[in-house]
Amino acid sequence: MTAVASAPGKVILFGEHFVLYGVKAVLCAIDRRITARSHAIGERLIRIKSSMGNAEFVPSSADIINAHPIFMRPFLTIAEQALREFGADGGIEMEFESEIPPGMGLGSSSAACVAAAASVAALFRKKTKDEILDMAIKSERTMFEDASGADSAVSTFGGLVTFSSEGREKIDYEDGLGLIIANSNQAHSTRELVLRVREFRSNNERLFAEMCDLEDRLVDEALTALRKNDLVTLGTLMSKNHEMLRRINVSTDVLDKLVAEACNTSYGAKLTGAGGGGCIIALVDESNTARTLETLKKISDCFVARIDLRGVCNE
Ligand code: PMV
């Protein structure tokens, strides 16, 4: 038997990093997906095949999972847990296909966890989106124990989502939010950037607390602007959010340049995700998409993204 599921990547519109300190983040699923194909196999094996490498192990203990490259651990964990939960005798082979560039802050690893959880579960019993999210977050934390779960939440449910330590909420928004995503081509490590911010916070406790309050207000204003589909205000707030991220040292010269160029023609722009590289997003509509793309194409790889409203899907 084979079960196929796909899940979208994401961008963070507001609140990255600050979300780890109680601020609400706003995320948007994008129309680039990862597909996971899971096959039930007769051998007592878990086999992972992906463009980033292959792994194979005999289901048994978490120690053995930890001997594999870190990015394989979530998938081995998902498959191992499913075999245990459903008391299956055989094994699972999982393959991935991705439209989301890895390591660029576009949520590729969370989308892979969500798609993997949905496809593996469907081999046995289809799970609810909440159950899939739970599996995905647990598996993601085998790779990065501090993951907030925000990326997996938006990948599971699609659309626009707010996320904080108090939970997640879907934002009703059916309009066609236009985003241009431009890649700095600088790889980053979310873990290192999170540690950098933690250090910034411990060296600047008062300032950081004030910045969290500021970010909180900015997110509230952004939610109001989204409800009114007020792109001018939304874009301005995105640019302000970029400034906040610069102040906590997670931007780079390349990201700042991309943002500055994008701001000349778009409604506003910011880095998205952990920073230190990865991508920027620029807010556009039909009036300024072509001009913004033209400018950014001269200095980066970029593409237009739309909201994905589906979230995780079994095929
Ligand atoms: O690099 P990304 O896109 O996975 O973004 C990480 C966002 C952080 O807020 C820095 C961490 C998190 O888990 O929310």
**Ligand 1 centroid from CA 279, angstroms:** 12
pLDDT at 238: 98
> 16 C-alpha to center of ligand 1: Å?
6
Ligand 1 nearest atom to the CA of residue 12, by list position? 3
**pLDDT value for 63:** 58
CA neighbours closer than 13 Å in the CB half-sphere of residue 293: 14
Residue 128 sits at the vertex; the CA angle it makes with 71 and 305, to the nearest 5 degrees, is 60
CB-ligand 1 contact for 252 (6 Å cutoff): no
- Closest residue by Cα to atom 5, ligand 1, is 273
- Determine the Cα–Cα distance for residues 230 and 3; give it in Å rounded to an integer: 41
pLDDT of 222? 97
Q: Is 151 a catalytic residue?
A: yes
Least confident of 118-132, 171-185, 280-294: 171-185
Count CB neighbours of 56 within 10 A. 15
Ligand 1 center to 278 CA (angstroms): 11
Count of CB atoms within 10 A of residue 272's CB?
A: 29
Ligand 1 closest atom vs CA 106: 3
Residues 16-26 pLDDT 10s:
999 999 999 99
Nearest Cα neighbor of 208 from 259, 167, 249 is 249
Q: Is 103 left (phi over 0), alpha (psi -120 to 50) or beta?
A: left
Q: Over 90: is that where the pLDDT of 268 sits?
A: yes
pLDDT confidence of 61, banded at 50, 70, 90?
low
User: Across the chain, what does the average pLDDT equal?
Assistant: 93
Is 69's pLDDT higher than 90?
A: no
Ligand 1 binding pocket includes 147 (Cβ within 6 Å): yes
Is the per-residue pLDDT at 198 higher than 90? Answer: yes
Candidate from 12, 140, 163 with most ligand 1 atoms within 8 A of CB, to mutate:
12
pLDDT at 35 (0 to 100)? 98
How much distance in Å is there from the Cα of 315 to the middle of ligand 1? Answer: 28
* Contacts of 141 by beta carbon, 8 Å cutoff, 6+ apart: 147
CA distance linking residue 156 with residue 211, whole number of Å: 30
Which residues are CB-neighbours of 132 under 8 A, at least 6 positions away? Answer: 114, 117, 118, 121, 156, 312
Q: Check residue 60 and give its pLDDT.
A: 72
Locate 184 and state its tokens: 């700095």
pLDDT beyond 70 at 62: no
Task: State the pLDDT at residue 148.
Answer: 78
Q: What is the mean pLDDT of residues 9-13?
A: 97
Task: Tell which residue, 266, 268, 278, 225, has the closest CA to residue 243.
Answer: 268
DSSP 8-state secondary structure symbol assigned to residue 141: T
Taking 70 as the threshold, does the pLDDT of residue 64 lie above it? no
For ligand 1, the distance from its centroid to the CA atom of residue 146, given in whole angstroms, is 9
Mean pLDDT on 130-150: 89
Helix axes 253-265, 289-297, angle to 10 degrees: 150
Phi, psi dihedrals of residue 206, rounded to the nearest 5°: -65, -45
Query: What would the mean pLDDT of 235-260 be, rounded to a whole number?
Result: 98
Average pLDDT (94-115) is 92
Mean pLDDT of 301-315: 94
Pairing of strands 91-98, 46-50: parallel
- Domains identified in the chain and CATH numbers: 2-171 (3.30.230.10), 178-305 (3.30.70.890)
Over range 236-263, report the average pLDDT.
98
SS3 call for 10: strand
Digit-coded pLDDT (tens) for 172-186: 876 778 999 999 999
* CA 220/CA 151 separation, integer angstroms: 20
- Angle in degrees, CA 311, 69, 127, rounded to 5: 30
- Cβ of 100 less than 6 Å from ligand 1: no
Pick the atom of ligand 1 nearest to 150's CA.
Answer: 14
Q: Which of 72-76, 187-191, 310-314 has the highest mean pLDDT?
A: 310-314
Residue of 31, 63, 151, 213 marked active site: 151
- Tokens 């706003």 correspond to 26
Q: In 3-state terms, what secondary structure has residue 27?
A: strand
157 vs 256: CA distance, rounded Å: 31
